[in-house]
Amino acid sequence: METYNTFSGIVIHGSKIGRTMGFPTLNITVKQGNIPKDGVYIVSVLIGDEHYFGIMSIGNRPTFKENENKTVEIHLLDVTGDWYNTYVNVNPLTFIRSNEKFNSIDALKSQIEKDKHFAQNYLASRSRK
């Protein structure tokens, strides 16, 4: 099983695309060298003294804009909040899949739902051990 380094950053304002799709995200500004390779991961996020779980995408958002700067976006599972300008610690737990370009927003939304379902099942199976 591959392990990943924990990294930290500040929650910044993004383009709000995730929110309009029904998947609000924390956009994190980090030093590029500290993050894992591009892709989608299950993560644990420490905000203040609270732990949350989510799915994280690292990459250049190929469905929206090619050659855009790399982004780190985290959709927290079952929680929302306003954490702008908050320092967070991110612990990648497992890699789900590589990034891909989708032909439509609906196709991307469908895949995010699958990723979210996969993460929920993964976390539930870990809690039973």
pLDDT tens for the chain, 129 residues: list them: 678 899 999 999 988 888 888 889 999 998 767 789 999 999 999 999 999 999 999 988 766 775 567 889 999 998 988 999 999 999 999 999 999 988 988 999 999 999 999 999 999 998 876
Q: What is the CATH topology of the domain spanning 7-127?
A: Elongation Factor Tu (Ef-tu); domain 3 (2.40.30)
3-state SS class at 60: coil
CA–CA dist 119, 113 (Å, integer): 10
**Which tokens hold the place of 110?**
């469908």
**Which tokens hold the place of 74?**
């985290």
Q: What share of the chain is helix, strand, coil (3-state, %, to 5)?
A: 25, 35, 40
Q: Please say whether the dihedral angle defined by the alpha carbons of residues 76, 67, 20 and 16, taken in this order, is positive or negative.
A: positive
Which pLDDT value is given to residue 21? 86
CA–CA distances in Å: residue 49 to residues 4, 88, 95: 21, 10, 25
